[in-house]
Amino acid sequence: MQWSEVIYGLPTLTLGDTEHADIHAVTYDSREVRPGTLFVAMRGESTDGNRYVRAALDAGASAVVTDSRESFAFADARHVPAALIEHGRQALAIVSANFYQHPERTLKLTGITGTNGKTTTAFLVEGLLRSAGRNSALLGTIETHVVDEVRPSPHTTPESRDVLAIFADAVTAGATEAVMEMSSHALAQERVFGIPVDVAIFTNLTQDHLDFHGTMDAYAQAKARLFQGVGAPAPRIAVVNADDSYAATMQQAASKSETVWTYGIDAAADFQATGVVLRAGETSFALSTPFGSAEVVSQLTGRVNVYNLLAAIAAAVGRGVKLEDAIEFAATLKPVPGRFETVANTLGFSVVVDYAHTDDALRNLITLARELAGNARVITLFGCGGDRDRTKRPKMGRAAGEGSDVVIITSDNPRSEDPAVIAHEALAGVEASGNKNVRIVLDRAEAITLAVNEAQPGDIVLIAGKGHEKTQTAKGVSLPFDDVAVAAAALRKREAQA
């Protein structure tokens, strides 16, 4: 593709003197540059891509798009086509869309934002679309799907170049739909700039990521950008959780959408669940909608999954799936990895691995476990991530202390922080709850083994925080770690001793 084609529609401040180059790839990572690559150098939150322009040109970059006058002048002096732009991430999205021949125009995208429930809802929406015979792409926290191919997901929401590359592969593979988690970071940073969303879902908003956003209001406004459109028109349909305290904020943001549907259990909603019955491995409820009423039965567990199912069914209907088909398909969908994932054993108690990593998610998880445990105990193991919002640590501790019989505080991903400091900040919340049956075991594998050995028949052991993750990050190093595998090994050892 020619330089002029790749930068078509790009708002440039200045163009260099060199006008012609063949572009064979687009990247924002200088380590990926090969001869024929267009390198987009942009300022980020933790680094500045302009520091690597020389390295990119030395590696054979054929052109440079940059938000730095110095980098522009350097590339122009090397007689390489260059463009100076104001907004780096917007430019990355525009040139990537041009390079990949606009796959975002072929796919009908369902975008999902919220603090909790994004991943499960995304899996459910994709499952309903697949059941209806639609080929789709899925981009989310756990993994990426390109029709039938499964790929790892390094980020919840990748940079626009990576999103569009996946979309292009999906179109080639015959996809007509896409389902995508859209984090508040990605919306605020415009990683999804110019990507049109057909159906937008808001799950909920509870405290998280205040290390980045600063305030809950700023966090909410970042989420609301999904409903306003980020460099693209507003979504055709907005699907909003009516039971969440930020529902009105999202509905107001969706004022330019053709249709706004609400869903909920407590508040009056367009997609309303009543008569909810919760059992281990089964949830059922009566569903009323603008398109009729029916009974929904699902293999998913818990009240939180009622919300996820409501959102997914509404989105599927919005994408043209018949309501009766969506309800039929919902009964066949399996639980999502790392979301109330049970670890099998023969010891008479339950072990559950879950991604819950906010106080609200942890409280919901413990409430569900309490309902299922009856008179037996709930043993909760959790940790708090390092280099993240410190104010939620005592809140998570309080949630664990108030709902659990036994609390074990351990390491999550401490990153650059001291795990002991993190644990004691969480401990303050447990102590404030009045729960005195609490221990700190910083080695996560040792803590999981302790929780398994503590359990008696009927108890429920909750291993919270990491869910599907397969690594643990500490002191700048990510090492293999899988909660499910560690719990399974501890259970096998105890079973052998029984």
Binding residues for meso-2,6-diaminopimelate: 388, 412-415, 465, 469
3-state secondary structure 91-149: HHHHHHHHHCCCHHHCCEEEEEECCCCHHHHHHHHHHHHHHCCCCEEEECCCEEEECCE
Buried b (16+ CB within 10 A) or exposed e, 294-328: bebebebbbbbbbbbbbbbbbbbbbbebebeebbe
**What's the token pair of residue 256?**
């330019």
C-alpha 277/C-alpha 284 separation (Å) is 5
- Residue 152, burial from CB neighbour count under 10 angstroms (0-12, 13-18, 19+): exposed
Q: C-alpha angle 122/296/338, rounded to 5°? A: 35
φ/ψ region of 138 (left if φ > 0, alpha if ψ in -120 to 50, else beta) reads beta
Q: Which strands sit side by side in the sheet containing 143-146, from one edge to the other?
A: 149-152, 143-146, 136-139, 177-181, 108-113, 199-202, 237-241, 259-264, 271-279, 282-289, 292-298
C-alpha 283/C-alpha 296 separation (Å) is 8
Query: How many other C-beta atoms can be found within 10 angstroms of the C-beta atom of residue 133?
Result: 8
Buried b (16+ CB within 10 A) or exposed e, 332-347: ebebbebbbbbbebee
Helix axes 303-318, 323-330, angle to 10 degrees: 140
Q: Which residues are annotated as a binding site?
A: 30, 114-120, 156-157, 183, 189, 191, 388, 412-415, 465, 469
Give rounded-to-5 percent helix, strand, coil for the chain: 40, 25, 40
Sequence-ordered list of residues with C-beta below 8 angstroms from that of 59, at least 6 positions apart, any chain: 30, 33, 34, 35, 37
Query: How many other C-beta atoms can be found within 10 angstroms of the C-beta atom of residue 216?
Result: 15
Where are the strands (E) in 367-447, listed by range? 378-382, 406-409, 438-440
Q: Which residues are annotated as a binding site for ATP?
A: 114-120
**What's the token pair of residue 397?**
């501790």
Task: Please check whether residue 408 is in contact with residue 438, taking contact to mean a CB–CB distance below 8 angstroms.
Answer: yes
